[in-house]
Amino acid sequence: MTKQHLPVALCVLNTLISGASEPWDRGLISDHATKLGYKVPRVIDLARVALESLIAECAEHGAVAVVLPSLDHLSISALKTLQAAELDVATVYPEIARHDTVKPGAH
């Protein structure tokens, strides 16, 4: 699959959670998304962007997933909102993913 035809994921973190680890977390989620077979147009900080804006950006970019450092970066209600928007959710720690759009063997 060419890079142009890869499914899109937005990488998401909350810098209030990441703190001094923000640069490390940004690299981790971008690398993890790539490893899962996604194209990543940008990283979004939930400390600066409302959840509604994240969902709008996902629609704008045609994203099918969001990739987070861990579930600590989202509230339970935010996770449910992303799932209700039919966005797949993947995390680096623990390495979990709920996805149907990534090609098999792209781990």
* Tokens at 53, concatenated: 């804006």
Whole-number Å distance between alpha carbons of 54 and 56: 5
Residue 104 lies in a domain: no
User: One-letter amino acid identity for 20?
Assistant: A
Res. 106: pLDDT tops 60 = no
Domain count, the chain: 1
Res. 14: pLDDT tops 60 = yes
* Tokens at 78, concatenated: 């935010």
Residue 15 lies in a domain: yes
Residue 63 lies in a domain: yes
Residue 30 lies in a domain: yes
Whole-number Å distance between alpha carbons of 34 and 8: 10
Q: Could you tell me the residue range of the domain that residue 22 belongs to?
A: 3-98
Helices (H), the chain: 15-18, 22-35, 51-61, 76-84
Residue 64 lies in a domain: yes
Residues 47-70 have a mean pLDDT of 96
Considering the entire predicted model, what is its pTM? 0.85
